[in-house]
Amino acid sequence: MVYNWLLKLQQEAFPTSCRLCRAAGEPGLELCSACREELPWLHHACQGCAMPLPPDADATICARCQNTTSSIDECRALFTYHPPVDGWIQRLKFEQDLALGRLLGTLLADSVSSDADTASMSILPVPLHRKRLSERGYNQAMEIARPLVRRGYRIETRCCRRARNTGAQSGLSAASRKGNVRGAFLTTQPLDGRQFVMIDDVLTTGATLEACARAVRGAASVSAWVATRALSPDDDR
């Protein structure tokens, strides 16, 4: 509560400007309302893999997900991996622009129903291996997750770790991505039937999220909320 009060005071004292057009931003956002509307929002997507569905489709699950099994109960993505969001992801991951994590996380938090039972859900930023974390200095998934924590969600960083330092997923085929992260995550404590929401920056083939979800399979449910949905393995090179 004190943090939220201080944040509101800071926003009033130092109003933001839009990252895209430099006009006045919405309160607490480096984004104006006009540019916000123009972002590549993903409005109608499969609840199993977040791939876009036709706007007039009645189905909520794509044909592929209807015929496959997954450890992920529900998946949602804010945007497709298109400009300017694709550039934001790159700057967040590789140029230490942590404010973009806050921006994306705030937009993600805004998209979640205000009726969500935050007390029963644990936010799980997809872990980085300690070597990668040491090199980068931060976990981009954690930066996206922080605004959700400020909305009342409980963050969980100790129950699951990345046990194997896998190579980068970008540039790999779907099959190679799956093999690259197989067995990469381990749980470190009992899950006791808890509900987890994994947070990540990009969903491409789903291999990383699936591997993480399998590691926490003792949970009552495992969902995935991501900032962006790449439409092919070539998109996030």
Portion of the chain with pLDDT greater than 90, in percent: 67
In sign, the C-alpha dihedral spanning 169, 172, 174, 178 is negative
2 has a pLDDT exceeding 90: no
Give the residue from 91, 28, 59 showing the smallest Cα distance to 228. 91
* Residue 235 pLDDT: 67
Which tops the pLDDT comparison, 235 or 232?
A: 232
Pairing of strands 74-80, 221-229: parallel
Please determine, for residue 99, whether its predicted confidence score (pLDDT) is greater than 50. yes
The predicted-structure confidence for 37-87, as pLDDT tens digits, reads as follows 999 999 999 999 999 999 888 889 999 999 999 999 999 999 999 999 999
The closest of 28, 3, 4 to 14, measured between CA atoms, is: 28
Q: Which two tokens stand for residue 184?
A: 């990469």
What stretch of H or E contains 124? strand 121-125
pLDDT at 218: 83
Place of tokens 């039937």: 193
pLDDT score for 8:
54
Confidence of residue 92 (pLDDT cuts 50, 70, 90): very high
Residue 144 predicted with pLDDT over 60: yes
Asked whether the whole model's pTM tops 0.95, one would answer no
Which DSSP string do the residues of 103-122 spell out, in sequence order?
Answer: HHHHHHHHHS-TT--GGGEE
What mean pLDDT do residues 151-163 have?
91
pLDDT at 172 over 90: no
- Determine phi and psi for 174, rounding to 5 degrees: -60, -45
Q: Six-digit token pair at 128?
A: 């980085």
| 237 has a pLDDT exceeding 60 | no
Closest alpha carbon to 151 in 197, 192, 194, 82: 197
| Mean pLDDT across the chain | 89
Residue 116 and residue 108 in contact, taking contact as beta carbons nearer than 8 Å: no
DSSP 159: S
Cα Rg of the chain, angstroms = 18
Can you list the domains of the chain with their CATH numbers? 1-38 (no CATH), 40-229 (3.40.50)
